[in-house]
């Protein structure tokens, strides 16, 4: 493949991709790859998983490129599609997703709440947590790491890892209760 030329306009890139021109597909991929991989690496520390998500996202971009209508930025549109792939990945691969916010005693409550919002919305709420609490929560609740593994990775005690998870759950419950003004507990 030739070296991409980032001097093309978004219109030229989109038109080239709509025409299935490999040169323009490469330009689009290389132009936005770094931004998209950075976004995905915020949700997982596993570079291979992030690459899988980004590549699935770009595949989705190329399949839907003919629907891009220039009513916003091309980067924003690509980001949205890659973010949906990120959400889909965690829905598909995480046995923990439905319990990620709630402890077992809260399962009935979690079923009522979680069926009303999408995983990507929950991930957006996770972004609002303090950085270490957010990372511990992602590793435990989304990626399935144990507290022992997390403690080793962050060089903290197992108790501190458990505290961060508990703190994350408390903060997320409050965020979920107030999620976009909806009363998520209402039937």
Q: What is the pLDDT of residues 45-98, one digit of tens each?
A: 789 999 999 999 999 999 999 999 988 889 989 988 998 888 788 777 764 444
CATH number at residue 60: 1.10.1740.10
- Higher confidence at residue 40 or residue 100? 40
In sequence order, what are the residues at sequence separation of 6 or more whose Cβ sits closer than 8 angstroms to the Cβ of residue 176?
Answer: 101, 113, 117, 122, 125, 184
The answer to whether residues 16 and 23 touch, using CB atoms and an 8 Å cutoff, is: yes
> Please, what is the Cα angle at 134 between 33 and 126, to 5 degrees?
75
Closest CA to 28 of 41, 14, 47: 14
Residues 57, 82, single domain; the answer is yes
Query: At 1, is the pLDDT very low, low, confident or very high (cuts 50, 70, 90)?
Result: very low
Final residue of a structural domain among 67, 93, 119: 93
Residues 101, 177, single domain; the answer is yes
Residues 87, 102, single domain; the answer is no
The 10 Å Cβ neighbour count of residue 156 is 16
Give pLDDT, residue 18.
96
Give pLDDT, residue 184.
44
The proportion of the chain whose per-residue pLDDT surpasses 90, expressed as a percent, equals: 37
- Higher confidence at residue 144 or residue 126? 126
Residues 103, 152, single domain; the answer is yes
Residues 111, 166, single domain; the answer is yes
Final residue of a structural domain among 62, 93, 124: 93
Give pLDDT, residue 6.
60
In three state form, how does the secondary structure of the chain look?
CCCCCCCCCHHHHHHHHHCCCHHHHHHHHHHHHHHHHHHHHCCCCCHHHHHHHHHHHHHHHHHHHHHCCCCCCHHHHHHHHHHHHHHHHHHHHCCCHHHCCCCHHHHHHHHHHHCCCCHHHHHHHHCCCCHHHHHHHHHHHHCCCCHHHHHHHHCCCHHHHHHHHHHHHHHHHHHHHCHHHCCCCCC
In whole angstroms, give the CA distance from residue 54 to residue 86.
8
Q: What is the mean pLDDT of the chain?
A: 79
Give pLDDT, residue 106.
43
Give pLDDT, residue 11.
94
In whole angstroms, give the CA distance from residue 64 to residue 57.
11
Residues 14, 88, single domain; the answer is yes
Domain that residue 102 falls in:
97-181
The radius of gyration of the chain's CA atoms, rounded to the nearest angstrom, is: 19
> Please, what is the Cα angle at 135 between 131 and 136, to 5 degrees?
120
Residues 116, 163, single domain; the answer is yes
Give pLDDT, residue 180.
54
Final residue of a structural domain among 46, 72, 93: 93
The answer to whether residues 93 and 47 touch, using CB atoms and an 8 Å cutoff, is: no
150: pLDDT strictly greater than 50: yes
99: pLDDT strictly greater than 60: no
- Within its chain, how far is the Cα of 187 from the centroid? 28
Across the range 5-32, mean pLDDT stands at: 92
118: pLDDT strictly greater than 50: yes
């Amino acid at each position: 493949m030739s070296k991409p030329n980032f001097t093309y306009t978004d219109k030229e890139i989109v038109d080239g991709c709509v025409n299935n021109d490999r040169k323009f597909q490469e330009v689009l991929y290389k132009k936005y790859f770094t931004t998209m991989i950075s976004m995905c690496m915020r949700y997982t520390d596993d570079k291979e998983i992030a690459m899988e998500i980004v590549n699935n996202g770009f595949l989705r971009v190329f399949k839907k490129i003919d629907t891009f209508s220039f009513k916003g930025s091309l980067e924003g549109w690509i980001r949205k599609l890659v973010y949906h792939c990120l959400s889909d990945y965690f829905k598909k691969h995480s046995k923990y997703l439905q319990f990620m916010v709630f402890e077992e005693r809260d399962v009935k409550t979690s079923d009522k709440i979680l069926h009303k919002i999408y995983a990507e919305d929950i991930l957006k709420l996770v972004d609002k947590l303090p950085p270490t609490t957010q990372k511990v929560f992602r590793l435990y609740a989304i990626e399935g790491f144990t507290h022992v593994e997390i403690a080793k990775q962050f060089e903290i005690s197992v108790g501190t890892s458990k505290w961060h998870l508990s703190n994350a759950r408390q903060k997320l419950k409050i965020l979920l209760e107030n999620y976009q003004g909806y009363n998520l507990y209402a039937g």
